[in-house]
């Protein structure tokens, strides 16, 4: 067995097992070391020591739990991320990172340790998808990147860990206009019908619909201003962080106007889609009623979010991509490009036909020189 022992500048001694020695002939199997490859390992360690990037060469006295606390403070206060985003980060770190690394000193976290941890994610029957594993790894990378800056670590041990491959994003499935109207008719009440219609004809996200107030519905200007979103009962900005305006089709205006005829909760600051007592709608209850409406209308089991996709696919056929991006509140136009394959291109078939056109038998034949 090839082993290494060295002492760090602060006096700490490190002992490592490099790997089993290969004494046979020919190329060694994977994981085995000859004298030459063991010396290559030693040279790599010395190069890291000279560059100041050798794990453990800096002594911080801080744990990963300390780094997590600093990271959550940083994203909430300095970066001013949405409260829902910070809660999501905290949940990921509490459930997946701290149980493994919480008490470990920052300088003791190595790429090999992180690699072993990420391979263990999804164990114990949790059936975690590769996409979720990649998200967890990304959040931990953010923690260690902040720790590197604050505690002057020589490197980020998460950087060299390969993310698990994710399956290709599934295609978009959307409602037809007739299916949207059938779903509206199958809704349990007028409010549910109006929220389904508004979702499909404006592309507002569920949280944006729940947060919509009457002052943001501009009937004369035929538009809806999107200024807020609600997640788990907590008010925040829209996902992109930007206020936007979305055109309001006459059928949506008529539906909202009927809601505005109710006896109370129609003031400028009242919610358009108000729950009991004027409070925010319960998102879970709304989704349960939505699924029952799908069953009554005998429609496919599409998600509520697919109402938003329905808007995107219909509008990309009528408006330029930049306007669709603005209406949908996409921070990145690449997100909007997903809808482009729905845009009809009536002249494409004619272009192909012209490219492969041949003369008919009755056309004059070109003369051929002898």
**End-to-end Cα spacing for the chain:** 84
CATH of 64-151, one of 3.30.43, 1.10.150, 3.40.1130, 1.10.10: 1.10.150
CA-atom Rg of the chain in angstroms: 30
User: pLDDT over 70 for what percent of the chain?
Assistant: 94
Instruction: Give CA–CA dist 35/3, Å, rounded.
Output: 11
pLDDT surpassing 70 at residue 368: no
Instruction: Give CA–CA dist 257/88, Å, rounded.
Output: 37
pLDDT tier for residue 12 given thresholds of 50, 70 and 90: confident
How remote is the C-alpha of 237 from its chain's centroid? 17
How remote is the C-alpha of 92 from its chain's centroid? 14
Q: Is 367 left (phi over 0), alpha (psi -120 to 50) or beta?
A: beta
CB 27 within 8 A of CB 39: no
pLDDT at 21: 95
Instruction: Give CA–CA dist 363/130, Å, rounded.
Output: 61
pLDDT digits (tens, 9 = 90+) for 54-75: 777 778 889 999 999 999 999 9
Residue 205: exposed, middle, or buried by beta-carbon count in 10 A (0-12, 13-18, 19+)? buried
Instruction: Give CA–CA dist 1/22, Å, rounded.
Output: 9
> What average pLDDT does the chain have?
89
pLDDT digits (tens, 9 = 90+) for 26-43: 889 999 999 999 999 999
pLDDT at 150: 94
**Token pair of 35, please?**
């004298």
> What is the pTM assigned to this prediction?
0.68
Instruction: Give CA–CA dist 322/333, Å, rounded.
Output: 7
The domain ranges of the chain are: 2-51, 64-151, 179-307
Instruction: Give CA–CA dist 322/336, Å, rounded.
Output: 9
pLDDT surpassing 70 at residue 126: no
Annotation: CATH topology of 179-307: hpI Integrase; Chain A (1.10.443)
pLDDT tier for residue 240 given thresholds of 50, 70 and 90: confident
CA distances (Å), origin 212, targets 178, 181, 215, 227: 26, 22, 9, 8
């Amino acid at each position: 067995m090839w082993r290494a022992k060295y002492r760090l500048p602060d006096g700490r001694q490190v002992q490592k097992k490099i790997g089993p020695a290969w004494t046979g002939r020919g190329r060694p199997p994977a994981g085995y070391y000859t004298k030459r490859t063991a010396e290559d390992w030693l040279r790599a360690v010395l190069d890291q020591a000279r560059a100041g990037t050798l794990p453990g060469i800096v002594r911080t006295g801080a744990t990963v739990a300390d780094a997590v606390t600093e990271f959550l403070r940083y994203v909430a206060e300095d970066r001013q991320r949405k409260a829902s985003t910070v809660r999501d980060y905290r949940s990921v770190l509490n459930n997946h990172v701290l149980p493994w690394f919480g008490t470990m000193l920052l300088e003791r976290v190595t790429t090999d340790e992180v690699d072993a941890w990420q391979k263990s994610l999804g164990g114990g029957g949790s059936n975690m998808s590769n996409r979720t594993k990649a998200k967890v790894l990304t959040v931990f990378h953010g923690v260690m990147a902040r720790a590197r800056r604050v505690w002057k670590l020589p490197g980020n041990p998460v950087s060299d860990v390969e993310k698990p491959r994710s399956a290709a994003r599934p295609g978009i499935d959307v409602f037809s206009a007739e299916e949207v109207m059938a779903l509206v008719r199958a809704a349990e009440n007028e409010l549910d019908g109006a929220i389904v219609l508004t979702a499909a004809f404006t592309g507002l996200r569920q949280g944006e619909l729940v947060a919509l107030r009457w002052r943001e519905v501009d009937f004369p200007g035929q538009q809806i201003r999107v200024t807020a979103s609600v997640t788990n009962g907590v008010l925040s900005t829209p996902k992109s962080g930007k206020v936007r305006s979305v055109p309001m089709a006459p059928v949506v205006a008529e539906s909202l106007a009927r809601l505005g005829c109710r006896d109370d909760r129609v003031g400028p600051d009242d919610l358009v889609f108000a729950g009991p007592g004027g409070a925010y709608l319960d998102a879970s209850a709304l989704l349960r009623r939505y699924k029952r409406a799908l069953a009554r209308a005998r429609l496919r089991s599409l998600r509520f979010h697919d109402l938003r996709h329905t808007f995107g696919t219909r509008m990309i056929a009528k408006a330029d991509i930049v306007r669709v991006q603005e209406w949908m509140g996409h921070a990145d136009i690449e997100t909007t490009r997903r809808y482009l394959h729905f845009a009809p291109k009536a002249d494409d078939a004619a272009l192909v036909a012209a490219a492969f056109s041949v003369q008919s038998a009755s056309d004059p034949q070109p003369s051929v020189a002898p």
